[in-house]
Structure 1
Amino acid sequence: MAMLDIHDLAVTFGHGARAVHALRGVSFSVNEGESYGIVGESGSGKSTVLRAICGLTPMSGGTVTLDGKALATPRDPAFYRRVQMVFQDPYASLHPRHTIDRVLSEPLAIHGFDRRENRIEQALDEVGLGKGFRFRYPHQLSGGQRQRVAIARALILEPKVLLLDEPTSALDASIQAEVLNLLDRLRAERGLTYVLVSHDLAVVAHMCERLLVMQHGLAVEALTREALQASRATQDYTRNLMAASLGFTRAAIPA
């Protein structure tokens, strides 16, 4: 049985002639312990998929099933114990006037966890920061450190599924690999299931066993990592994405 099953997902903003169909009949499933990628250019709807799964964007059609059970709307507190999201921008996702201790303690208080101090220190250790960061403010941290705090906040409720919305795109290239390797390690240690959104095919090839290619709110093509690495795409859009990910060459620059 799939850990996460998305069937015929639709999201529409607005009404009548001004309606924007952000998602149109998107379907895929993610197995327990799998890392599943969603790729596409800006505006393709890939981040909207994650927001619809976690209830931040209202669905206009389709179903989302978690571990065999259809999810209710709005999502109940038990859902957020099992599914957490890491957002793209670590500068915007942390409250600038809250210490890291408060950032991590709030979800524990909301969900009634005990041993809060131990859980906070353990979460910081797991993401490679340590308890010395506990009473710092976000402005005292680098971008990579802030994203590690965001990951710690997501993990502190001991979820089974992480929704990762371009988790490294706002970071310097030198820091991206560190965060991706951290996520890889945590998935292996905790048996987590990931849904990773990215515009970077290299990131998806590194992190994900399977992926879905999206364009204009539609699922264009599903691929395995092996097919992606061997350039065995069947759709022109996917082939164009793969070509674009290779970047420019000197031969492409006019003299």
Structure 2
Amino acid sequence: MTSAVSIRDMVVTYDGFAALNHVSLDVGAGESFGIVGESGSGKSTLLRVVSGLASFERGSLAVNGRPYSSSRRDKEFYRTVQMVFQDPYGSLHPRQTVDRLLLEPLLINGFDNIEARITRALDEVGLGSGFRFRYSHQLSGGQRQRVAIARALILEPKILLLDEPTSALDASIQAEILNLLEQARRDRDLTFVMVSHDLGVISHMCERLAVMKQGEVVETVPAKALEKREFSADYTRRLLVASEGFRRN
């Protein structure tokens, strides 16, 4: 398996607290990989480090075989790796139109065919050209997340980092956004790295998952193991029971 993302012995500490404690994992090219764990387990920190939004103190990171230092990222990296954040209300600039939000990354990265790319991006996420000159406050939560996904896809990345992409949305909208992401992955042959507290979402979207606890990877299992209850770690079993109990209520 060719690795799209390879992490070895990664360490991140904040005020003496080990947010990541010698974490290692590999995500295959074209794979949809999930990361689960309770709050504070380090899963979002790991995604932020891969994206370049946070630095690491020890260990190594390679993307498509190319090593990257603790925090420096170049344009090639951002054309390869994009991130969709949890909060569609906070991830879009309130004073920029949708058109400007999509135009800016294209200009920064020197893309041509601007009009065609913006039109395609909006169509791909189910928003027509009528949304181009709206501001984020004129959009619903689901529409804002669609714009955020369009902004991530417009640079034609190969790897998409997804940090709880539906947790801030109404339940009725979550399935639409997940289906949109799944379709984009198939159409573009994308690699997904998805963080979620919802094991149901992870089992639906991902082929493998890493279970994290207190900054460490407890185990890595196929998503099918969730249905078959085939775990080696008792923590994974407790996490699944807690998730199922939450959904029943």
TM-score bracket relative to the smaller structure: over 0.9
> Paired residue for 2:90?
92
> Paired residue for 2:7?
6
Q: Does 1:50 align with 2:50?
A: no
> Paired residue for 1:237?
235
Q: Secondary structure at the match of 2:245?
A: coil
Q: Secondary structure at the match of 2:133?
A: coil
Q: 2:190 aligns with which of 171, 188, 192?
A: 192
* Partner Cα distance (1:248, 1:93) in 2: 28
Q: Secondary structure at the match of 1:247?
A: helix
> Paired residue for 1:164?
162
> Paired residue for 2:58?
61
- The Cα offsets for residues 77-115 of structure 1, whole Å up to 9 and x where unpaired, read as 210010000000000000111100000000001001111
Give the CA deviation at 1:154.
0.3
Q: Which amino acid aligns with 1:44?
A: S
> Paired residue for 1:31?
28
Q: Which amino acid aligns with 2:96?
A: H
Q: 1:41 aligns with which of 29, 38, 43?
A: 38
> Paired residue for 1:131?
129
State percent identity of aligned pairs: 62
Question: Normalising by the residue count of structure 1, what TM-score does the alignment of the two structures yield?
Answer: 0.94
Give the CA deviation at 1:54.
1.3
Give the CA deviation at 1:235.
1.2
Q: Which amino acid aligns with 1:13?
A: Y
Q: Which amino acid aligns with 1:207?
A: M
Q: Which amino acid aligns with 2:65?
A: G
Give the CA deviation at 1:198.
0.2
* Partner Cα distance (2:80, 2:141) in 1: 26
* Partner Cα distance (1:49, 1:174) in 2: 29
> Paired residue for 1:175?
173
Give the CA deviation at 1:221.
1.1
The structure with the largest alpha-carbon Rg is 1
Q: Secondary structure at the match of 1:157?
A: coil
Change (3 A) 1:249 1:164: closer
> Paired residue for 1:22?
19
Q: Which amino acid aligns with 2:103?
A: S
Unaligned runs of 5+ in 1: none
Give the CA deviation at 1:249.
9.6
Unaligned runs of 5+ in 2: none
Q: Which amino acid aligns with 2:50?
A: I
- The Cα offsets for residues 132-178 of structure 1, whole Å up to 9 and x where unpaired, read as 10000101111011000000000000000000000000000000000
Q: 1:77 aligns with which of 60, 75, 78?
A: 75
Root mean square deviation of aligned Cα: 1.4
